[in-house]
Structure 1
Amino acid sequence: MENTQINTKKSSSFQARFQKIGGYLSRMVIPNIGAFIAFGLITAIFLETGWYPNETIIKLKDPLLKSLLPILIGYSGGELVYGKRGAVAGALATFGLTIGSDVAMFLGAMIVGPFGGWIIKKFDQAIDGKVREGFEMIVDNFSLGIIGGIFCILSFLFVEPIMAGITNALASGVVWVMEHKLLPLSAIFIEPARVLFLNNVIDHGILAPIGLEQVASQGFSPLFMIIPNPGIGLGILLAYWFFGKGEMKEAVPGAVIIHFFGGIHEIFFPYVLANPLLILADIAGGIAAIITMQITNYGPVYTPSPGSIISVLALTPRGKYLGAILTVGVSCLVTFLVASIFVKKYYRGYVENSPGSNTDGLVRGFNNIENNGTIDGQIKKIIVACDAGMGSSAMSASSLKKKLKEAGYNIEVVHTALQNIPNDADIVVTHKELTNLAMKAKPEKYHMSISSYINPPEFADVVNVVRENNDKDMKVSSSEKITSYEPSKENKTPNSASNEVLKLDNIVITDDIKNRDEALRLINKHFVDGGYTTEKYLEAMVKKEKEFNTNIGNGLAIPHGTFEYKDEILKTGLVILVCKNGVSWNDEDVKLIIGIAGKGDEHLEILSKLATEFETQEKVDEFIALNNKTKMKNILESVEN
């Protein structure tokens, strides 16, 4: 057991270091994606085989490829290490690589750029406090010029030949693999690395530089499509849509739009990580895509970034659109067929038989991490971080901000890269695969993990932490906030039925309800008759079901309204429907329905408590078997205690 733990720690440490390197390389490339897209479009349009060939304009291609793009990467690498001074040093060092080189020095730029920034940083640290007052600017300018100039010369004389040799060797290796029809086998290694969030470093750091050499000779390269192909992720998501259950299934439509049209592939990674056997579907789709490209002789003119179907088509050479569509379509179909096998098996076995699991198939609890950081006082700023700080974290930050606003908290939520987490952050939220890296970057901060970038269930944990910290010092009267399922403590008497959260009459045991809509109408009738809501609250519950199904598994549904209809709630109330024969609810069988009308943000607290009380199918069945309204009422009112 001890050896297993040691090996696990070593593996986790290696993965963390590898991801850190990958994230660092990504942050050199991603800020310059616009320049890469400009290069791709100029090539696609004005190349000899492009849409509108132009011998004059296409002269921009080589300077863009061999000078501007590497220098931008070197500049960004130096800036990451030491701000603007590091950026200038990195650009000068990279410029030396580009002079006289016949290949695009992307790999070299990723090395000498940060190194140039590091050297100037060390020099500044060495002379700190030793420069006579009034001479600081002169020393700064001349030191940067001298050190940067030296690195520029050294890069030109020594580093460039070495990097050219490495790049040519890699290019020759890829050519050999392609000539021997072995390129499809690369998916065996690339696809697992991709879902571990190394997609950017593989795409831009390894495949793109070699692919650019192919573009120079043949006008396109299939290497550009290995990572950005949106068909593979689409196949995974569709398998969950057809055969999954719970929150992961319900999140698929939004994920498909974000992935396929937005090009943010990180959205499907958690679906694979939740069921590791799906990596086989990932690999199968990757192999199918590469074989299709070989058959159709297809490849884009540069890496589609972001990897959306729109970017793929925009960077496809004239006359090769059929190849693009077949590559995406075939890889999607193959991935879907293989993934369907494992998704169906997963939900028949693990989810249904694993107590304490979420309906989305992910075991909650990884937020019980060894957190060195603490939260002092009110939470004012939450950071959502990912490796690059762009698409994935931006999307999650927006979603979390909405969740907090619905809960009544106007808190700043910002997205950023792992290495740029600000010092004024109160909570740092990251994907569970990146939490260790975030904790190393900012060990003093309070860290929380999410299992997915789209609507993760762990956002409820974040809201609860905010509530615990921001509300603990607030003095709120019972008339303003009810924190129990039973009457407020000030009015908890037999004669206070008008303020009672759960009336005995609002517990209905019936087998007459056949579907969800009938259940919602009955719940709303009890709410209206009891003075809990207006009649319009029915619209709120119906709208909530369209946005997110409230059947949460275990035969339980917890319908409630959307935030926009909060004014239709007059006071907090519950309505319980017990249907022993079951009710059809979004293609699932539901036997216990708990309607909620929560004043303010009370419905969130109630939802949390009910989810805990009925976390297993056995608990739901035991509650239904009581068949006694009084006993049911007593159990629900004792949940808080």
Structure 2
Amino acid sequence: MVMPNIAAFIAWGLLTALFIGPGWLNGATPETPDRPAFDGRFAPDSWVAQIGGWGDFADGGIVGPAITFLLPLLIGYTGGYMLYKTRGGVVGAIATIGVITGAGIPMFIGAMIMGPLGGWTMKKLDALWDGKIRPGFEMLVNNFSAGIWGAILAFGAFFGIAPIVEWLTGRLGDGVGWLVENNLLPATSILVEPAKVLFLNNAINHGVFTPLGSAESQETGRSLLFLIEANPGPGLGLLLAFAVAGVGVARASAPGAIIVQFLGGIHEIYFPYVLAKPRLIIALILGGATGVLTNVLFDSGLVGPAAPGSIFAVLTMTAPGSHLGVILSVLLSAAVTFVVAAFLLRIDKNKDLDLEAATAQMESNKGRKSSVAGMLTGAAAAATGPIRNIVFACDAGMGSSAMGASVLRRKVQAAGLTDVTVVNKAISDLTDTYDLVVTHQDLTERARQRTGSAIHVSVDNFMASPRYDEVVELVSERNGALVPAGGHATPSHAAPAAAAPVAAATSTSDSVLDRSSIVLTGTATTREGAIEEAGNLLVAVGSATPAYVAAMHEREASVSTFMGEGLAIPHGTNEAKGEVSRTAVSFVRYPQGLDWGGERVTFVIAIAASGDEHLALLQQLAGAFLDADSVARLENATSVDEVKAVLDA
């Protein structure tokens, strides 16, 4: 719940660094709290005062409301969204406002409770009357049920949850205070460092240290709690020890891992080293404790969470006046970890280190494939192994990706690569289980975040991209196939054979493409008008609501649905699938052509999909628009029957 909103925490931390306590734009200090909020160095006094100065940041400025309302509401919305998409997110946010206003402290933990609770309970309530609402009353029931239930949850959170969480947060704060008073705060590394390796780091850092650190930073302008888990020093020291005293693959991979961990902030890269040599946890604990002790002695800290735990993020979030202490805490923790880890490696009689097994164990602890651990085993299996499953991904997984997947699937099958599957998915539904991912060039980075270990290929033309042939060649090479010059690939272990025929798609145009949804001469003159015209045909046959047409415009604003070959396939966003009652397709031809974001479009085929019924038709469309004769027949068609004859072929 916290990780997707780290950008907001960073923004709040930067504002804190500028305007709270001895901030860069704040003339006040803890020793002189009555000093004016601004001493004339950078900006007009009135401007700084509006953002928040010493003693005034909680009364109408940016910093106070951000930590009190913005951050908890984002967490609550995210928690609800994870369980019930947008509807769950909205109810989760409504429930969160109750716990926010019912307590006198920032309600991060309360938001982590109420957000998921709101989403889960709303999902269960909707299931009670699913399919029982009379036609025409769906919107009324949906809106009022969510509003009423959200209000009930907010009321309960205000009087029930807020006091409990406030008490619990107070006790946690007292515990941290007791550790500080008794000089025992460095001892937290005994729990934190092993927990990181077992993938409890986010739970500890963002579930405990971030809420407590944010409250402390709000009061003092900094908190060392932000750096207990996020300090990159221990990981750096461990990897340096392997680079100097390690052997084999571990020693060879350590320098690259240092870049990922220390500069990139991805700490999980060093977890397999510890899992393979558990005694090294001693070095991490001693190094972590050294870093905490250094920050205690120098009274240094960060203004907000450093996520990811990169040295760049740490220095960016360092509070004014704390740079010496923070830098020393990183360097000293790295030095202590290095010395202890190198010593343990030198005296270890068993020099073997099975990083591959340790990486598998780490991924098992994590519950999913690691996007960075592949480099530990020398080049990642995905980088050299066979390619068995390919996914074409787009925003909604409905039109663009389905068409692209159909074209690529034909080429893969024609190359005789019968052991390779090609599917299409929405980016939000991707998991890191695919060997190769194809996306529009504007979406590649989003897809890479979900499938970091896969090979990624970007295209700018869904119908006739030259990258498809490159993919086929790559798959043929990886899978041990032979590609004769100018010919098709055939498996190396089999005799050359004729290209496998493309499986014929069962015609479904009668069920998804109504005759009334075929227009031979469209009236629109712009891309927006064409989307509206094609979308209204879907509404007219009862397939979708007007809200879905609005979502089609939203989808187009994100990434163009131009397919190539004079074809555009507009469709709604993944979130708008709830506005679709049944799968349908509309066909509009513009004989004079129209401009589609700089491309000429003659055919607009709009899609509203509730299931997979449209995929067979899209496969037929891919075949038709890759055939010059079929395109010519569509351009010259004078009746609806002629259009259907081409699409049904």
For the aligned pair, the TM-score class normalised by the smaller chain equals 0.5 to 0.7
Q: 2:298 maps to what in 1?
A: 296
Q: What's the CA shift for 1:216?
A: 2.3
Q: Distance in 2 between matches of 1:119 and 1:489?
A: 59
- Residue of structure 2 aligned with 1:230, choices 232, 235, 244: 232
Q: 2:10 maps to what in 1?
A: 37
Q: What's the CA shift for 1:343?
A: 2.1
Q: Distance in 1 between matches of 2:274 and 2:341?
A: 9
* Structure 2 residue 211 is the aligned partner of structure 1 residue 209: yes
In structure 2, stretches of 5+ residues that fail to align are 27-47, 53-60, 394-425, 436-451, 456-473, 497-649
Q: Distance in 2 between matches of 1:116 and 1:345?
A: 55
Q: Which range moves more in the overlay, 211-220 or 258-267?
A: 211-220
Distance verdict in 2 for CA 1:68–1:268, change over 3 Å: same
Q: Distance in 1 between matches of 2:359 and 2:332?
A: 36
Q: Is the 8 A contact 1:66 1:101 kept in 2?
A: no
Taking the TM superposition and a 5 Å limit, the aligned residue runs for 1:526-541 are none
Taking the TM superposition and a 5 Å limit, the aligned residue runs for 1:71-470 are 71-346=73-348, 348-351=349-352, 360-362=353-355, 364=357, 393=371, 404=382, 409=387, 412=390, 427=433
Q: What's the CA shift for 1:233?
A: 0.3
Distance verdict in 2 for CA 1:367–1:317, change over 3 Å: closer
Q: Distance in 2 between matches of 1:291 and 1:95?
A: 38
**Which residue identity lines up with residue 33 of structure 1 in the other structure?**
I
Q: 2:522 maps to what in 1?
A: none
Distance verdict in 2 for CA 1:410–1:331, change over 3 Å: same
Q: 2:413 maps to what in 1?
A: none
Q: Distance in 2 between matches of 1:454 and 1:475?
A: 23
Distance verdict in 2 for CA 1:319–1:413, change over 3 Å: farther
**Which residue identity lines up with residue 93 of structure 2 in the other structure?**
A
Q: Is the 8 A contact 2:98 2:158 kept in 1?
A: yes
Q: 2:417 maps to what in 1?
A: none
Distance verdict in 2 for CA 1:75–1:422, change over 3 Å: closer
Distance verdict in 2 for CA 1:398–1:249, change over 3 Å: closer
Q: 2:446 maps to what in 1?
A: none
In structure 1, stretches of 5+ residues that fail to align are 1-27, 352-359, 369-383, 430-451, 456-465, 491-641
Q: Is the 8 A contact 1:401 1:411 kept in 2?
A: no
Q: Distance in 2 between matches of 1:69 and 1:158?
A: 21
Q: 2:64 maps to what in 1?
A: 62
Q: 2:514 maps to what in 1?
A: none
Q: What's the CA shift for 1:361?
A: 3.1
Q: Distance in 2 between matches of 1:335 and 1:398?
A: 20
Name the TM-score, length of structure 2 as normaliser: 0.55
Q: Is the 8 A contact 2:356 2:377 kept in 1?
A: no
Q: What's the CA shift for 1:125?
A: 0.8
Q: Is the 8 A contact 1:404 1:410 kept in 2?
A: no
**Which residue identity lines up with residue 56 of structure 1 in the other structure?**
Q
Q: Which range moves more in the overlay, 54-63 or 68-77?
A: 54-63
Deviations 1:195-214 (A, max 9, x none): 11111111111111111221
Q: Is the 8 A contact 1:396 1:454 kept in 2?
A: no
**Which residue identity lines up with residue 31 of structure 1 in the other structure?**
P
Q: Is the 8 A contact 2:307 2:313 kept in 1?
A: yes
Q: 1:552 maps to what in 2?
A: none
Q: Distance in 2 between matches of 1:269 and 1:240?
A: 13
Q: What's the CA shift for 1:56?
A: 2.7
Q: What's the CA shift for 1:215?
A: 1.3
Distance verdict in 2 for CA 1:204–1:414, change over 3 Å: farther
Q: Distance in 2 between matches of 1:414 and 1:175?
A: 52
| SS in structure 2 of the partner of residue 268 of structure 1 | helix
Q: Distance in 1 between matches of 2:70 and 2:115?
A: 14
| SS in structure 2 of the partner of residue 215 of structure 1 | helix
| SS in structure 2 of the partner of residue 298 of structure 1 | coil
Q: Is the 8 A contact 1:401 1:413 kept in 2?
A: no
Q: Is the 8 A contact 2:269 2:373 kept in 1?
A: no
Q: Distance in 2 between matches of 1:267 and 1:61?
A: 34
Q: What's the CA shift for 1:362?
A: 3.4
Q: What's the CA shift for 1:186?
A: 1.1
Q: Is the 8 A contact 2:217 2:303 kept in 1?
A: yes
Taking the TM superposition and a 5 Å limit, the aligned residue runs for 1:471-486 are 471=479
C-alpha RMSD of matched pairs (Å): 4.1
- Residue of structure 2 aligned with 1:52, choices 13, 22, 25: 25
Q: What's the CA shift for 1:426?
A: 9.8
Q: 2:621 maps to what in 1?
A: none
Q: Distance in 2 between matches of 1:228 and 1:365?
A: 23
**Which residue identity lines up with residue 156 of structure 1 in the other structure?**
F
Q: Is the 8 A contact 1:251 1:454 kept in 2?
A: no
Q: Distance in 2 between matches of 1:71 and 1:389?
A: 28
Distance verdict in 2 for CA 1:217–1:246, change over 3 Å: same
Q: What's the CA shift for 1:482?
A: 11
Q: Distance in 2 between matches of 1:426 and 1:218?
A: 42
Q: What's the CA shift for 1:217?
A: 2.3
Q: Distance in 2 between matches of 1:263 and 1:147?
A: 41
Q: Distance in 2 between matches of 1:245 and 1:365?
A: 16
Deviations 1:502-526 (A, max 9, x none): xxxxxxxxxxxxxxxxxxxxxxxxx
Name the TM-score, length of structure 1 as normaliser: 0.56
Deviations 1:137-170 (A, max 9, x none): 1111110011011111111122111111111111
Q: What's the CA shift for 1:304?
A: 0.7
Q: Distance in 2 between matches of 1:184 and 1:425?
A: 38
Q: Is the 8 A contact 1:77 1:110 kept in 2?
A: yes
**Which residue identity lines up with residue 303 of structure 1 in the other structure?**
P
Q: Distance in 1 between matches of 2:113 and 2:10?
A: 23
Q: Distance in 2 between matches of 1:44 and 1:388?
A: 37
Q: Distance in 2 between matches of 1:52 and 1:316?
A: 15
Q: What's the CA shift for 1:248?
A: 1.8
Q: Distance in 1 between matches of 2:321 and 2:250?
A: 39
Distance verdict in 2 for CA 1:414–1:78, change over 3 Å: farther
Q: What's the CA shift for 1:286?
A: 1.1
Q: Distance in 2 between matches of 1:489 and 1:161?
A: 74
**Which residue identity lines up with residue 361 of structure 1 in the other structure?**
D
Q: What's the CA shift for 1:273?
A: 1.0
Q: Distance in 1 between matches of 2:292 and 2:359?
A: 37
**Which residue identity lines up with residue 41 of structure 1 in the other structure?**
L
Q: Distance in 1 between matches of 2:179 and 2:358?
A: 44
Q: Distance in 2 between matches of 1:138 and 1:401?
A: 56
Distance verdict in 2 for CA 1:272–1:118, change over 3 Å: same
- Tell me how many residue pairs correspond in the alignment: 399
Distance verdict in 2 for CA 1:155–1:328, change over 3 Å: same
